[in-house]
Chain A
Amino acid sequence: GAGVSQTPSNKVTEKGKYVELRCDPISGHTALYWYRQSLGQGPEFLIYFQGTGAADDSGLPNDRFFAVRPEGSVSTLKIQRTERGDSAVYLCASSLMRGETQYFGPGTRLLVL
């Protein structure tokens, strides 16, 4: 069966540009999570969706980061005015519902020059 997919797998952009990262969760999973993993660190929680709504966005570092999940399936993480410090691997995970095991995608490696 299909797992969590993320596109693109790699993204190189210039400082100040806008980027969108896409996550396609496992079909039927209502909960979706975004994490950021910097070099040499564990994943850091960004935001959690239950259905279409962001149930917890306490991990978003600042207002340059925004995420949507308009139809309760695919989610897009949006980063405005990118900074070099945003360079990291952005991971998406989904679970059948809140409280169930999270399954991770392969991540998008973002490099801001």
Chain B
Amino acid sequence: AQSVTQPDIHITVSEGASLELRCNYSYGATPYLFWYVQSPGQGLQLLLKYFSGDTLVQGIKGFEAEFKRSQSSFNLRKPSVHWSDAAEYFCAVGVRNNDMRFGAGTRLTVKP
């Protein structure tokens, strides 16, 4: 069965610094991979997704993620973090976008 691991429960970065959130997955076939963001009191918002093709995926709000099959990873990156990026970030793996498995999430705090 597919599963997702987000090794970092909580990350703190300074505003303007770069960010990388880690995600490792376990799945036998080529996975569908997603990153969602959840702000307090808000629903989950899709940042980006990987289905196939180019392994570097661009998303909204300046985020990108790179699929590395050899490492079973799909890390999320942003070159310069803004205070408004403070939120909970979830990585998910799915089979044809059905029955998605989410990681436990990484909470991002942004220092001024």
Residues of A within 8 A of B99 (CB): 45, 48, 56, 58-59
Collect the chain A residues with CB atoms within 8 Å of residue B46's CB: 101-103
Chain B's closest residue to A6 (CB) is: B43
| B43 engages A43 (CB within 8 Å) | no
Is B31 interfacial (CB-CB < 8 Å)?
Answer: no
Q: Which residues of A contact B49 (CB under 8 A)?
A: 101
Count residues on chain B whose CB falls below 8 Å from chain A CBs: 21
Q: How many residues of A contact B (CB 8 A)?
A: 27
Docked-complex contact B43 and A106, CB < 8 angstroms? yes
Q: Is the interface of B mostly helix, strand, loop or mixed?
A: strand
Least CB distance from A42 to B in Å reads 3
A73 within 8 A of B: no
- If A42-B90, A42-B105, A44-B102 touch, whether A98 touches B43 (CB-CB below 8 Å) is no
- Please indicate the chain B residues that have their CB under 8 angstroms from the CB of A44 in the complex: 102
0/1 per residue, B73-112, Cβ < 8 Å to A? 0000000000000000010100011111111110000000
A3 → B minimal CB distance (Å): 8
Collect the chain B residues with CB atoms within 8 Å of residue A104's CB.
36, 43-45
Do B104 and A41 touch across chains, with their CB atoms under 8 A apart? yes
Q: Are B100 and A45 in contact (CB under 8 A)?
A: yes
A95 within 8 A of B: yes
Which one of A42, A43, A93, A101 has the highest number of Cβ atoms from chain B below 10 Å of its Cβ?
A: A42
14 sample A-B contacts, Cβ–Cβ < 8 Å, listed by A number? A40-B104, A40-B105, A43-B102, A45-B99, A45-B101, A48-B99, A95-B97, A99-B97, A99-B98, A101-B49, A104-B36, A104-B43, A106-B42, A107-B43
Residues of A whose CB lies within 8 Å of any CB of B are: 3-4, 31, 35, 40-45, 48, 56, 58-59, 91, 93, 95, 98-107
Taking beta carbons and an 8 Å cutoff, which residues of B are in contact with A?
4, 36, 41-46, 49, 90, 92, 96-105
Given contacts A42-B103, A45-B100, A91-B43, 6 further A-B contacts (CB under 8 A): A43-B100, A48-B99, A56-B98, A58-B99, A99-B97, A102-B46
